Structure 1
Amino acid sequence: MAEILKVATHEFADKGLAGARIDEIAAATRTSKRMIYYYFGSKEGLYVAVLEESYRRVRSIESELKLENLQPEEALRTLAGFTFDHHNGNQDYVRLVMSENMLRGQYIAQSKSIQALNVPAIQSIRNLYDRGVAEGVFRPGLDPIDIHASISALSFFNVSNQYTFSQIFKHQVQDPKVLAQRRANVIDMVVRYVRA
């Protein structure tokens, strides 16, 4: 099943739900369409399972950061840097999220686990933010979901818009030097937004 999910992740990220083909996933995993349908019920069921696994994976790695053991600003910097690196290093994840947004969240809404998977991420931000406010290093009155959205948006753009941005501005966003500077800028923007 893990191999099916891995291959299906790339297939759905590359072609979207409508364009992905179960035949190609079956051939690449040396299994049968029947076996895929047995495990996942349908093409849409496999797509939901891919979404769930993608979110589970990022949240699992994120939980290993041990942000609670870091000073608030260091924790925020670590989280922003991790998110930037994750999105850049897992571009299929970004494409899946883009695809699901094109579908207006229709399949994420069917998931029984994705919302629960994301609760700890927001709680982690709430905890580090509250510690920072209590220590006087973060300004009060911010919403942890908004902080999460800001980190996500700044990290997401570099992947989601890399081709159009590079063509329009003749600025190669995936060049290692450009990428390193962008990463540093994203972390700095997030910290400046939250800092007291």
Structure 2
Amino acid sequence: MTSTRPGSDPAPAKTGADGPKRRRNSDLTRSNILDVATSEFADKGYAGARVDEIAERTHTTKRMIYYYFTDKERLYQAVLERSYSAIRARERELDTEGLSPTDAIRAIASLTFDHHEHNPDFIRLVSTENILRGEHIRKSEALSNLGNPAAELLESILTRGQADGFFRTDVDALDVHMAISSFCVFRLSNRYTFEALFGRDLTDPSHREHLRRMLGDMIIAFLTSTEV
């Protein structure tokens, strides 16, 4: 008899044509659970989300969800891991080697702007996890070094720009990452309060290209300004 452990995927058959099919079905089930769980946690927060609701929306059972993810906390952690991994994967796909340092920085800024715009649940999840003071991210081995590739990419571009005399030398990769992320996150996380106070919808399509270009201009202006 084949044994399994809680939190793991069902083991594929070792022989026969059903093995790959079983694995595909398992992967699809797991992916579907994560899709729905992402929406639930983003919409209702960690405390408000209910595993029973996720089970109902995925046409599965609470027991099956716990089979894959052990408990609610592990499910939430898996949602965070997949959400953060998505933008890191897009950054890895970005080819900046043939770009000038300024164009490379603009490319990263635009990529972040576009990713966040198309993944508003990611912003809500980040906000929730900050309310929880990063409790679940700190427990994740998968996320512990996930920020390194983004920092390394920015560092290599900064190094090139500084060596060529284009960029100031008193900033580092995390300064730039913070500046880009702050703009992109604020645009979505504060859209409702900003509109209520100032009457401008930051996600209005008519403002999109202006804001996208403004982000790149701001970062480049900062990097090319005179050091204090």
After TM superposition, the score normalised by the length of structure 1 is 0.97
In the alignment, is the contact (CA less than 8 A) between 2:40 and 2:54 conserved in 1? yes
The higher relative CO (CA closer than 8 Å, separation ≥ 6) is in 1
Residues in 1 aligned to 2:62 and 2:141: alpha-carbon distance in whole angstroms: 24
Percent of paired sites with the same residue: 47
Bigger-Rg structure (1/2) = 2
**1:33 matches 2:62:** yes
Match of 1:79 in 2: 108
Residues in 2 aligned to 1:108 and 1:143: alpha-carbon distance in whole angstroms: 24
Partner amino acid for 2:167?
F
In the alignment, is the contact (CA less than 8 A) between 2:158 and 2:172 conserved in 1? no
Q: Deviations over 1:41-66 (max 9, x none)?
A: 11011000000000111100111111
Residues in 2 aligned to 1:68 and 1:96: alpha-carbon distance in whole angstroms: 32
Deviation, structure 1 residue 82: 0.8
Residues in 2 aligned to 1:121 and 1:112: alpha-carbon distance in whole angstroms: 17
Given the alignment, which residue of 44, 64, 76 partners 2:93?
64
Given the alignment, which residue of 80, 98, 118 partners 1:89?
118
Deviation, structure 1 residue 179: 2.1
Q: Deviations over 1:24-51 (max 9, x none)?
A: 1111111110011111111011000000
Structure 2: 5+ residue stretches without partners = 1-29
Residues in 1 aligned to 2:132 and 2:92: alpha-carbon distance in whole angstroms: 29
Query: How many residue pairs align between the two structures?
Result: 196
After TM superposition, the score normalised by the length of structure 2 is 0.84
Deviation, structure 1 residue 186: 1.1
Deviation, structure 1 residue 115: 2.4
Residues in 2 aligned to 1:94 and 1:190: alpha-carbon distance in whole angstroms: 21
Match of 2:80 in 1: 51
**1:105 matches 2:134:** yes
Between 96-105 and 170-179, the greater mean CA deviation after superposition:
170-179
Report the RMSD for the aligned CA atoms in angstroms.
Answer: 1.0
After TM superposition, the runs of 4+ consecutive aligned structure 1 residues lying more than 4 A away are none
Greater fraction of residues in helix:
1
For residues 106-145 of structure 1, what are the structure 2 equivalents within 5 Å? 106-145=135-174
Deviation, structure 1 residue 69: 2.9
Q: Deviations over 1:104-138 (max 9, x none)?
A: 00000010111222110000000000001111111
Match of 2:42 in 1: 13
In the alignment, is the contact (CA less than 8 A) between 2:102 and 2:161 conserved in 1? yes
Structure 1: 5+ residue stretches without partners = none
In the alignment, is the contact (CA less than 8 A) between 2:40 and 2:49 conserved in 1? yes
Residues in 2 aligned to 1:185 and 1:135: alpha-carbon distance in whole angstroms: 24
SS in 2 for 1:3: helix
